[in-house]
């Protein structure tokens, strides 16, 4: 199994954009063979956004990442500054 954790600390005015982006990733991941679960969470103490995905294998995760980044090439925005 492979566990993927991402931590995001966007400015408050960009939080909704980051959550929406995380949900789009989750929707795409759900279509991928090998995904066991995917979640978007928010830490109440720090307001950090946490993405958590569990994959059957690293190969299953890598397959999604290759398609994901090729599709988003050149469209990534930095919400942290």
- The answer to whether residue 1 scores a pLDDT higher than 70 is yes
> pLDDT tens for residues 21-36?
999 889 988 988 999 9
| Model pTM score | 0.76
Q: Which DSSP string corresponds to 48-77?
A: -EEEEEEES-HHHHHHHHHHHHHHHTTT--
Task: Please name each of the domains of the chain with its CATH number.
Answer: 2-72 (3.30.70.100)
- In the block, which residue shows the tokens 């294998």? 57
């Amino acid at each position: 199994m492979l566990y993927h954790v991402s931590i995001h600390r966007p400015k408050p005015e960009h939080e909704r954009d980051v959550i929406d982006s995380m949900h789009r990733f989750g929707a795409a991941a759900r279509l991928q063979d090998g995904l066991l679960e995917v979640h978007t969470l928010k830490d109440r103490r720090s307001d950090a956004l946490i993405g958590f995905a569990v994959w059957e294998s690293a190969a299953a995760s890598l397959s999604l990442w290759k398609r994901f980044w090729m599709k988003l090439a050149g469209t990534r925005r930095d919400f942290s500054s």
